């Protein structure tokens, strides 16, 4: 499958054969079942993760080979036009997934694990992976190709960026047992290691350094390397003073995330409520 997907992507035909379309449908079924992923754990990699560029190519191939169709249930009340390859994902009720009424949307070609809770309105895009027991709260986004682990909570209005292009770039990774507080944003291939906690309003990306007050370290992305938040880190929104030029004279500070502690029993007690909601 990988060889054929890459050939179709790299050598664009004038038109796509029935065989090519069947290949894509088989590819999408494997995305839906979690058999293939845009990125997957890899113990030999420094970050613990490996990008599967060919899977990203396959997702993009679906956009390329399909036209825009009318998916509207009622074109007057709620028009909906999108690429034919990516309608809404189908569920039969046996997956143990809760999709609470109120306007959520889950696009086909993503994995949603057993026991996932979807609070309205939320959105999961094609290529994403959401592990068992995770909650995606109201107004939250799980972007294309983003990888979210087991038993996470993506709190209300939080944005988990994807990174579909370029195909070789690491998507955003949220490992197991992570709590993402309300109104957080995680972008540009950032990796949040297991059991970390992001306080309300924390924004993470490759260009803003993260200051670790506990270990005396500064973390940031460099070159092609992503920003990696350590396991168990508790990160909050902070600021650092501008130390020269007009910014110093004007008393300006710049936003920066700050690690104020590492997860302990008190932290676990504060987020224990999560188990009652699942």
Q: What is the pTM of this model?
A: 0.94
Q: How far apart are CA 255 and CA 205, in angstroms?
A: 12
CATH number of 2-66: 1.10.166.10
Tell me 232's DSSP state.
Answer: T
pLDDT of residue 275: 59
pLDDT of residue 269: 64
For the stretch 248-259, pLDDT in tens is 999 999 999 999
Is domain 90-265 given the CATH code 3.40.50.300 in the classification?
no
What residue segments make up the domains of the chain, in order of their start? 2-66, 90-265
Q: How far apart are CA 193 and CA 174, in angstroms?
A: 7
Assess whether the region 2-66 and the region 90-265 belong to the same CATH fold.
no
Torsions phi, psi of 159, nearest 5?
-120, 120
Exposure b/e, 2-37, CB count within 10 A at least 16 = b: eebbbebbeeeeeebeeebeebbeebbebbbebebb
For the stretch 193-207, pLDDT in tens is 999 999 999 999 998
């Amino acid at each position: 499958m990988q060889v054929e997907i890459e050939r179709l992507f790299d050598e664009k035909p004038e038109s796509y054969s029935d065989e090519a379309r069947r290949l894509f449908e088989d590819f999408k079924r494997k995305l839906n079942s979690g058999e293939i992923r845009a990125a997957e754990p890899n113990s030999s990699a420094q970050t613990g993760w490996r990008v599967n560029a060919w899977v990203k190519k396959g997702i993009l191939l679906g956009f390329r080979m399909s036209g825009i169709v009318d998916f509207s249930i009622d074109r007057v009340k709620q028009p909906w036009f999108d690429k034919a390859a990516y309608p809404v994902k189908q569920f039969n009720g046996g997956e143990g997934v809760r999709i609470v009424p109120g306007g959520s949307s889950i696009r086909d070609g993503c994995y949603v694990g057993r026991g996932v809770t979807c609070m309205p309105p939320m959105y999961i895009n094609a290529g994403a992976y959401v592990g068992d027991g995770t909650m995606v709260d109201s107004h939250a986004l799980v972007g294309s190709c983003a990888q979210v682990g087991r038993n996470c909570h993506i709190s209300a209005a939080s944005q988990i960026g994807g990174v579909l292009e370029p195909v070789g770039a690491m998507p955003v990774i949220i490992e197991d047992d992570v709590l993402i507080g309300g109104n957080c944003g995680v972008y540009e291939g950032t990796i949040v290691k297991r059991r970390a906690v992001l306080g309300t309003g924390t924004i993470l990306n490759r260009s803003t350094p993260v200051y670790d007050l506990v270990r005396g370290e500064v973390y940031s992305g460099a070159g092609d390397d992503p920003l990696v938040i350590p396991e168990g880190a508790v990160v909050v929104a902070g600021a650092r003073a501008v130390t020269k030029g007009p910014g110093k004279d004007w008393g300006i500070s710049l936003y920066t995330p700050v690690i104020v502690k590492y997860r302990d029993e008190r932290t676990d007690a504060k987020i224990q409520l999560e188990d009652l909601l699942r």
